[in-house]
Each structure stands twice: as structure tokens, then as C-alpha cells.
Chain A
């Protein structure tokens, strides 16, 4: 199975800060990577698919990049409503795997 290593596990930043989360795959997954946002008590929400394509309706302050084994998710200017846990997910194989999640808090 492909393992997804996400870091950091949590972070605290101020409103307006740039926030970056990384996700590393245990083998080459080309660009078969998605990013999700999950708020407490809610189902996950797809933000980015194919490593860098923004889902319709998602604010442009969210972005993704990378290919192969190393990927980055960025919030260009953190907003209070972005408080959530973020997960990467690979779909290079039929056995999907998620990263461990990154909890984003406001400082």
C-alpha cells in the first residue's frame, strides 16, 4: 500500500499568514493527489484534485502543487473560517490512502 506522510500534524498561525502543509507519498503517484478540509463534526470537503486543480467554488487562497512523491498545500492568507483539519489523499491505486491530517488553528 502507498503510505502518505503529512506534516506538520498541527500548526498555529495568525489571520493573514501564509500556511503550508506538505504530503509525501511512499512511491511515485504522479499527480493523483487530492486535498480535503474537514471541520469539526462535519464530513470532509474536497478542495483540490489532481494535485493542483481547485474545486469549483473553493476560494482562490487555497492552492496545491507537486508531483511524483512530494506535494504542497498552501493557504495564501489564513482566514478564521479556515480553522479545520486538512488531509491529503492519493488515488494512484484502487486502495486509496489518506495522510494523517494537519490541524490548523488560529494563533
Chain B
């Protein structure tokens, strides 16, 4: 069974940093692209970032480019999202997702990030 277990969310002040983790099991992690998608409270889904299977290629939404860094450790079967210079508008539930073709078939449980003073 595919599982994506997320950790690392919480309350952070504007300008602060946070790192999200997504531990994968039940599939060959190093073979798949991975994505981060977020959802502000009461709002729709917004794609944030993606990383290819070996970590050599990354892409970001314009809204987070230069502030967020996606990475992965294939030895630990774990995906990361380092978030710096956080803003109030980054407040959201963040989901990791496994990419299969152009879709996300498997999703983590989501982790809430709240940026507030």
C-alpha cells in the first residue's frame, strides 16, 4: 500500500522558515517524480513545486520561486520542502503527492502551515 506521511507543519512568524517532510513507503520512491500542492483555508488547490526522480530537476510556481526549495533523499524515501521568507499568504495545508504521468494518484494527509505574528 502506498503511503505518504507528512510532518513538519506549524505556526511560524512572517519572515520565518519551516521545513516540511513527506516519508514515502509502499512503492519505489526513487522511480517517481514528486509534487507539493497547497490549499489556503477555504480555497482551491494550488500546485507549488515538483522534483524529478533523481532530484536533478526542480520547478516552482512563481509565487514561491526563490523562497521555497524542494528536495529529496532517495536513500531515506523522503521528500522535503524548505520554506523561507514565509508570508501570511503562504498559510495553507500543504500536500505532498506522487506523480504518475501527469497526475497525482497518491497524496499525503496534508500538514497545516500558519504564518502569523
Contacts and interface: CB of A to CB of B under 8 A. Distances in A.
B94 to A, nearest CB: 11
Nearest to B102: A91
Contacts of A91: 101-103
A51 to B, nearest CB: 11
The interface residues of chain A, by DSSP majority, are classed as loop
Contact of B103 (A1, A34, A99): A34
Interface residues of A, number: 24
B45, B103, B105, B110 pick with most chain A CB within 10 angstroms: B103
A46 B103 CA distance: 8
Interface string B26-68: 0000000001010000001111001000000001011000000
A98 B30 CA distance: 26
Interface string A88-107: 01010011111111000000
Interface size of B as a range: 20 to 34
Contact of B44 (A94, A95, A100): A100
Given A95-B59, A95-B61, A44 B101 contact: no
B47 A49 contact: no
A32 to B, nearest CB: 6
Given A95-B59, A95-B61, A97-B47, A43 B105 contact: no
Given A49-B102, A96-B35, A87 B44 contact: yes
B69 interface: no
A29 to B, nearest CB: 10
A24 B113 CA distance: 31
Interface in B78-108: 95, 101-105, 107-108
A38 to B, nearest CB: 7
Nearest to B61: A95
Interface of B: 35, 37, 44-47, 50, 59, 61-62, 95, 101-105, 107-110
Q: Which 10 residue pairs are nearest across A and B when measured between Cβ atoms?
A: A91-B102, A43-B107, A96-B47, A101-B44, A98-B45, A49-B103, A34-B103, A94-B59, A100-B44, A46-B105
